[in-house]
Amino acid sequence: MNRKLLDPFEPEYPEAIEACLDDEYAVKCAFSHNGELLATSRSDGFCYIWDMDTLNVMRKLSHSDTALAGLSWSRSGRYILTYDEAGVCVVWDLQTQTVRVRVEFGSAIACARMHPRNSA
C-alpha cells in the first residue's frame, strides 16, 4: 500500500484475531509495560501470568479462595499487585513466586494500583 495515502493519525488495528487464550475464569486482565506478559485475575482466587510469545501459562499465583477484583503491574514487570473484594492486597515477586507484602483492610477494595514511578 502507498504510505502517502495512509492517514498518519489513524491507529493500526489487527484485521483478525491472531490468538485465543483459554481461561474461562478470567475476570480482568492487564499487560505488562513491555507487552511480553499478560496477567489475568480469576474468579477462583488465582492470578495467571501468560507468556505472550508462547501463549502458555508461566506462573500460577494463589491469592485466596475469593474472587480477585483486579491486578496491577509494577513498572519493571517483576512485581504484581492482586486484590480481592474481601479487602486483601498482595504484592507478588514473580521471579521467586513469593509474597512480598500482604495487607488486609477492613472493607472491600474498589481499586488498587502500583505507583507508576516508584514501584521497582
Separation between Cα atoms, residue 94 and residue 53, nearest integer Å:
17
Total number of residues shown for the chain: 120
What mean pLDDT comes out for the span 72-92?
A: 92
Question: Nearest to residue 95, comparing CAs of 61, 46, 72, 45?
Answer: 61
**Residue 84 pLDDT > 60:** yes
**pTM to 2 decimal places:** 0.79
| pLDDT-wise least confident of 1-5, 66-70, 72-76 | 1-5
User: What is the sign, positive or negative, of the torsion defined by CA atoms of 61, 63, 66, 70?
Assistant: negative
Higher pLDDT, 71 or 118: 71
Q: Mind listing the pLDDT tens digit for each residue in 13-53?
A: 667 767 777 777 788 999 998 889 999 998 888 999 999 88
For residues 75 and 33, is the Cβ–Cβ distance under 8 A? yes
